[in-house]
Every structure is written in structure tokens, then in C-alpha cells.
Amino acid sequence: MRRRRPARQVRVLVSAAFVFLVLLAAVMPRLFTARDPLLMHPDVPFAPPGRGYLLGTDEFGRDLLARIAYGARPSLEVAAGSVAVAGAVGSVIGVLGGYGVPVWEALAMRSADVILCFPPILLAMMIAGFLGAGVGHLILIIGFLYIPQFSRLAFAQTLAVRRSEYVEAARAVGAPTVRVLARAIFPNIAGPLIVQASLSAASAMLLESGLSFLGLGVLPPAPSWGLEIATARNYMFQTPYYVLWPSLVLSATILSINTMGDALLDYLDPRRRPGV
């Protein structure tokens, strides 16, 4: 018998629905608007919402609704891609290191240290300088920068879980290391890792907007939420709603991802289920 309050279920459903909408916008933006996000209407810059432009226009007279709808894809791509890279690589390093596999332990902690010493801007500038900016490069940069978040957490969690009964039982049975890792350790540390993944996805979106703010992220004229916020900030005093729309959408998306991450956490963790 689940002890969940209805409020909780509603929240999760709403979040899931919103994330689905955003995914839809990323894949098929035409469902949301017929307008071209790149088309300028120089006669109506900063048009207020209404009057043919549902959310208003930006400094070039481009339709804001279109900019936001089309902006979903790069933001999601960067967030998902970088978290996938960081999560996969970081978790492996961390688990192997925490379990005590020689070399990996040092690699786990030291590589995290080295990466974290690099100011994100410096790394971003270097890679963007060579390869040019763009979604793919952002995924590499942010993914690389986030590896420590996963490796350190996996390391610490693996350490904590190493001596627990599940693991001891598996080892006593003589299971090979890989199996112990996969069956006994990983599921027990997956919880915090998933929370971390949702946090990292959120913060990857924030970092992308920060990098776009500095001119190192997704480049104009392509829209991305981060870039929209960065640009809109310059015009906050004239047109406050210009910065509101992408901020709201970005925040709502992140919030939804976090909520779903929470629900996933509850579902995956056998000890968290009440009654067990």
C-alpha cells in the first residue's frame, strides 16, 4: 500500500507532462508555431505580447514564441548530452575507484581534482576557440566538466556501500567483480546518482546559458533558452517580459526534471519504499 499523497502524484504527472511537451517542442517545433524563429521584422522590435505575436518580439522583431519553441532543442541536447557523457564516464570511474580496483582509485580522485581546477570558462574558451562553438562542443565541454560530480559521488557512495551486507553476500558467493559491481553496488548507489543526474541536467542548462552569456555557447542567430536569457538581460529595463519567458520555461523544465528525478529515486530504491 503506497502512502503517497495525491498531491505528490499530481506533481509528478504535471512534471512529466511538461517535460513531454518540451521534448515535443525539441523534436517538432512546428506543432507550436508556424513562425520562423530567424525571420526578422525590424519594424516591430520589442512588440508587447498580443497583436499577432503571442509572446511579443525580440530586438530584431523575431517572434518570441517561435524562438522559445525552437530553443528547446539545443538546450535539451546540451543538458541531456553532457549529463550522459559525464554520468557514464564519471560513474564508471567512481565506482571502480571506490571499490578499490587499483589504479582506478587514484584516477577517480585525481582526475576529478584536475578537471575541477580548470576554470570552466578557460576550458570553454579553449575548445570553442579551436572547434568553434555549437551544441556538440558544448556537450563535450560541459560533459567533461561534470565528470567529477559523478565520479566523486560514486566514489563516496561506493565506499559507504562496500561493506554492506548485500555486497558481502555477493562476494561470499564468489561472484566476479563485474557482477558484484553491476548487481550489488550499482543499484544501491543509483539513487544519489540519479538525483545528481537531474541536478546536473539542470545545472548544465544553467551553465549553457552562462556560457552563452559570455559568447561561448550556442551562437546566434540560432535560438536557445540560455542565449535568449543572456540577450534579454541587456533589455531588462525596457522589456522585462523578454527575459521572463525563457526564464520561466527554463526554470519550469528544470523543476520538472528534478521532480521526475525524485519520483524515480523513490521508485528505484527498494529501501525507500515504505513497508519493506
Partner 1 sequence: MLRYAVRRAAAALVLVWVVATLVFAFLRLLPGDPVLVILGSESGAQAPSPDQITAVRRALGLDQPPAQQYGRWLARLVRLDLGTSLYDSTSVTADIAQRLPTSLELIVVAVALAVAGGVVLGLAAARCRGTWTDAALSGLLAGGLSIPVFVTGTLMVLVFGVILRWVPIGGFVPITSDPGAFARQLVLPAVALAFGLLGIVGRITRGSVLEVLHQDYVRTARSKGLGEPQVLARHVLRTALIPIVTVVGVQFGILIGGTVLVEYIFNWPGISTLLFTAIQRRDYPTVQGVVLVTSAMFILINLAVDLLYAVLDPRIRYEGET
Partner 2 sequence: MRHIAWRVRLAGAAAAVVAAVWTVGGAPPAPGAPAPPFIFGLSSEPPNLDPHVSNGAAAQTVKMQIYRGLFKLDERGRVVKDLVASYDQPNPTTYVFHLRPNLRFSDGSPLTSADVVFSLQRIADPKTGAYLKKRFGDIESVDAVDPQTVKVVLHSPDAVFITLLALPQAAVVSKAFTTAHNGDLKTATMGEGPYVLSAYQRGVQVSVTRNPNYYGAPAKMAEIRFVFYPDDNSRVAALQSGAVDMIEYVPWQDITAIKTNPQFGYQGTNGPFMYLTFNVTQPPFTDARVRRALGYAIDRDAIIKTAFFGRGGPIYGLPIPPGSLAYDAAATRYYTYDPGKAKQLLAEAGFGNGFTATLLSTAQYGMHKDTAQVVQQNLNAIGEHITLALPDWPTRVAAGNDGRYQFSVMGTVGDYNDPDFLSFFLHSGPTYYADSAGYVDQAMDSMLDQARATLDPAKRKALYVQIEQRELAEAPYIFLTWREQGYAYRKGVEGFHLLPGFQAFYSPYEFETMTVAR
Question: Based on the number of CB atoms within 10 Å of its own CB, is 130 exposed (0-12), middle (13-18) or buried (19 or more)?
Answer: exposed
Among residues 7, 172, 173, 178, which is the contact residue for partner 1, using CB under 8 A?
A: 7
Check residue 158 for interaction with partner 1 (CB under 8 A).
no
Among residues 117, 237, 274, 275, which is the contact residue for partner 2, using CB under 8 A?
A: 237
Question: What distance in Å separates the CA atoms of residue 216 and residue 208, rounded to the nearest whole number?
Answer: 9
Among residues 27, 31, 39, 160, which is the contact residue for partner 1, using CB under 8 A?
A: 160
213 binds, among partner 1, partner 2, none (CB under 5 to 8 A by kind): partner 1
Question: Based on the number of CB atoms within 10 Å of its own CB, is 117 exposed (0-12), middle (13-18) or buried (19 or more)?
Answer: exposed
230 binds, among partner 1, partner 2, none (CB under 5 to 8 A by kind): partner 1
92: its cell numbers: 564508471
* Between 54 and 116, CB nearer to partner 2: 54
Check residue 48 for interaction with partner 2 (CB under 8 A).
yes
61 binds, among partner 1, partner 2, none (CB under 5 to 8 A by kind): partner 2
Nearest of 120, 264, 92 to residue 185 by alpha carbon: 92
In the block, cell 502512502 appears at: 3
**Alpha-carbon distances of 169 from 177, 184, 271, rounded to whole Å:** 13, 9, 17
Binding mask 110-149 for partner 1 (x = CB under 8 A): x--xx-xxxxxxx--xx--xx-----------------xx
Question: For the chain, first and last CA: distance in Å?
Answer: 11
Per-residue burial over 86-103, b if 16 or more Cβ lie within 10 Å, else e, is: bbebbbbbbbbbbbeeee
122 binds, among partner 2, partner 1, none (CB under 5 to 8 A by kind): partner 1
Smallest separation (angstroms) from partner 1 to the CB of 202: 6
Among residues 101, 116, 125, 127, which is the contact residue for partner 2, using CB under 8 A?
A: 125
Residues that bind partner 2 (CB under 8 A): 38-40, 42-43, 45-46, 48, 59-61, 125, 128-129, 132-133, 215-216, 219-221, 233-241
Residues that bind partner 1 (CB under 8 A): 3-5, 7-8, 11, 100, 110, 113-114, 116-122, 125-126, 129-130, 148-149, 152-153, 156-157, 159-160, 162-163, 191-192, 195, 199, 202-203, 206, 209-210, 213-214, 226, 229-230, 233, 236-237, 243, 247, 250-252, 254-255, 258-259, 262, 265, 269, 271-272
